[in-house]
Structure 1
């Protein structure tokens, strides 16, 4: 039996981008996704974490999610929506609405639960996926973002975070193997940072202490597809069937060139290896453009003049501009006003201006002669005194040295005490 599903993640509903709401952009993405669901009629939609941007999302962000679930269920009643919590989400919060989710054929795994014997309840993590005839065509091994406090100390094999993650994967995959039939596929959905994944500057670090990113060796060969969340760039990790779907909209200027997508996956357990797994990237149209302008100030002003013209009435639909200018002198006080004046009117939102100092040959030469020894109080006082333009004053110097001696004596007394 064949199973078809969509893989998406990192929606970050409710995000504010430099104090600008992304609600319009998310509305456009969700409307586009509803159209894809209506046309393709997948068996399942997998959302691999970071559904919301913050642990306590605004009511408008929650409304967006629940309205989407209602709309998706209306156009594809048999489709299941399976969600896991990411590091931005509150796992307990998204599990609290299970009765509501059930009405829309949706299910979420926010946190790990334990049985009466203190072991992890694996049954809650193994979710069956059905086709239109209500046959089980796949099992989804659902692993939310794993916090150390949830998985360490369960037994002798979970003494630290690294061992606990390996143990949990082994136990869950073993349970899935025992449950599946030859006609059923195994899909693992996880919110994690995998080794070899390419990051952007908008992803909140989730590696605890000095823990390294996770290895794909955690995934047994029996797993037909690994649906990952956390990294915002769509990418495979090592093998074609281990993939990040990426975020649906750019969440920082470092993501301007990302090809945002939802991954459509089809798995036929009976097919040979090369035909067993197929996927297609469904490109998400970008409704609000981002522009990063870099260079010396003259170059920046020239580039601003070349931006497309044409007013955009709704401010939430106006394009974002980030300016990084290079200089070796302080900026003039009204620079922001001049830059805004240079932009075509009523089309852009200038959200950030940053300055990068240029290093000249003279600066490099001076750097070679910098004394890296830590300055003494006497040297610091002398430098500041001279910088203020004061002439040498013996009485002032004696007073300062007297204060230094008192401070040293006070420190010595503290140490002896």
Structure 2
């Protein structure tokens, strides 16, 4: 059996107000060509399909046009798609009855039966190979919100609830599988030891509480296809537990990521190989600085001029980071003037003030932070410090994180 592992498409995402639809379209067209040429049995999409719980109509059209096109060119392809923490589980599942006719399974939530048992049947999906025989079973684990894994039957401990969901689903899968069939888990979570992007991955739970142990996936799981972290990586060096990463750079901190999908091959229940397939970058991200204003203006003047024969939508996105000794009211005007006729699209100017020294005599540069750089937890911590004059304690941060999850879950409801 052969799988393509992808995640974190973030359809509908914008970069400091600039939409990324062209880049997502280029990725999806490239993925269609890969599917047609390589003919894998299964395509896994491990959550954060959309960037927000209420994605733009165009983003939804992109997803469903892709699914239809993939089915038309490869009718035997099985697609499994789960919700991530950016997604609405209800929205992901809404067209599920129609998508099943296209061999696509959409799972957004876990459900519990009246007797308190996990509804494992809806989370266990058969994976046929090229001959049509069931070569494995997919354990679909959409992002688990606290309201779904705590309560009367499970108690109030979020992480224990997550562990119980994994244990019950794996037990049900082992009871269902036949000799030689692989178990493939697809999950959207932050695993302990994972390398996090600086500013484009929404924190799941404050502190280290969100980091799940790899031991949740025992040796009987042949492969674990993870989503949430945008950098492709193995978890604790394990070949079988992987993040595929996002298909495009979702922030300037991801410029150097090798964006890819993973080509996974199994022989029965044995993992044979995991090979990256690098995704061509349709639009480059370019960052200048941090440097003094005079140096930045010089670098801007050296950028390539616009070629009228080139497509404007392929011009790089540009972030400029300027180090200042004092405020410059006309900073944006100076930068934009230097960019006249240049083949880039300015999306952000970040100013930072150098020369401030702390009590220890070391540089303590104070950056001008924009709201889109701050997570809800950052804003809460700053507000607490302003109000009470002391750092917020860990328990209060965890309580805030729990409330935030509950609010996001309420937004998730239809």
Question: Do both proteins adopt the same fold according to a TM-score greater than 0.5, normalized to the shorter chain?
Answer: yes
Structure 1 residue matching 2:303: 3-state secondary structure:
coil
Matches within 5 A, 1:118-267: 118-155=116-153, 157-200=154-197, 201-207=199-205, 211-238=209-236, 239-267=238-266
- Quick check: 1:158–1:167 contact (8 Å CA) kept in 2? no
The alignment's C-alpha RMSD in Å is 2.1
Separation (CA, whole Å) in 2 of partners of 1:317 and 1:144: 34
Give the TM-score taking structure 2 as reference length: 0.83
Give the 3-state SS of the residue equivalent to 2:71 in structure 1.
helix
Cα gap change, 1:278 to 1:94, in 2 (>3 Å)? same
Q: What SS does the corresponding residue of 1:25 show, helix, strand or coil?
A: helix
Contact 1:193 1:207 in 2 (8 A): no
Instruction: Determine whether 1:66 maps to 2:69.
Output: no
User: What is the TM-score of this pair, normalised by structure 1?
Assistant: 0.82
Contact 1:235–1:244 (8 Å) recurs in 2? yes
Alpha-carbon contact 1:191-1:228 (below 8 Å) kept: yes
5+ residue gaps, structure 2: 364-414
Which protein has the larger Cα radius of gyration, Structure 1 or Structure 2?
1
1:166 aligned counterpart, secondary structure: helix
Measure the CA separation in 1 of the matches of 2:260 and 2:43: 14
Which sits farther off after the overlay, 306-315 or 277-286? 306-315
Whole-angstrom distance in 1 between the partners of 2:29 and 2:119:
36
Q: What does residue range 31-46 of structure 1 map to in structure 2 within 5 Å?
A: 31-46=29-44
- Kindly indicate whether the alpha-carbon contact (under 8 Å) linking 1:228 and 1:245 is maintained by their aligned counterparts in 2: yes
Distance 2:281 2:256 in 1: 11
Deviation at 1:270, TM superposition (A): 6.2
User: For residues 18-37 of structure 1, what are the alpha-carbon distances to aligned partners after superposition, in whole Å with 9 as ceiling and x for unaligned?
Assistant: 11110000000000000000
Q: Does 1:334 align with 2:322?
A: no
Who is 1:282 aligned against?
277
- Residue by residue over 1:84-123, the C-alpha shift from the partner in whole angstroms, topping out at 9 and shown as x without a partner, is 0001111111111012212321011101122232322011
Shift of 1:360: 5.4
> Contact conserved, 1:296 with 1:325, CA < 8 A, in 2?
yes
Distance 1:107 1:83 in 2: 6
**Does structure 1 residue 318 correspond to structure 2 residue 315?**
yes
SS in 2 for 1:292: strand
Query: CA separation in 2, counterparts of 1:357 and 1:347?
Result: 28
The number of residue pairs the alignment matches comes to 360
Gaps of 5+ in 1: 368-417
SS of aligned partner of 1:302: helix
Match of 2:348 among 344, 348, 352: 352
Name the SS for the 1:111 alignment partner: coil
> After alignment, is 6-15 or 212-221 more displaced?
212-221
- Tell me the SS of whatever aligns to 2:72: helix
C-alpha distance in 1, partners of 2:256/2:322?
20
1:168 CA displacement: 1.0
Instruction: Provide, for residues 212-264 of structure 1, a one-character-per-residue CA deviation record: whole Å limited to 9, x for no partner.
Output: 41110111111111100001011111111111000000000000000000001
Provide, for residues 149-186 of structure 1, a one-character-per-residue CA deviation record: whole Å limited to 9, x for no partner: 1111252x544101111111111111111111222111
Counterpart-to-counterpart distance in 2, 1:186 and 1:220: 11
| Alignment CA distance shift 1:361-1:204 (3 Å) | closer
The residue matched to 1:308 in structure 2 has which SS? coil
Runs of 4+ in structure 1 deviating by more than 6 angstroms, as ranges, are 361-367
Q: Tell me, what secondary structure is at the counterpart of 2:317? A: strand
Cα separation, 2, equivalents of 1:352 and 1:363: 32
2:13–2:20: 8 Å Cα contact kept in structure 1? yes
CA separation of 1:316 and 1:20: change in aligned 2, threshold 3 A: farther
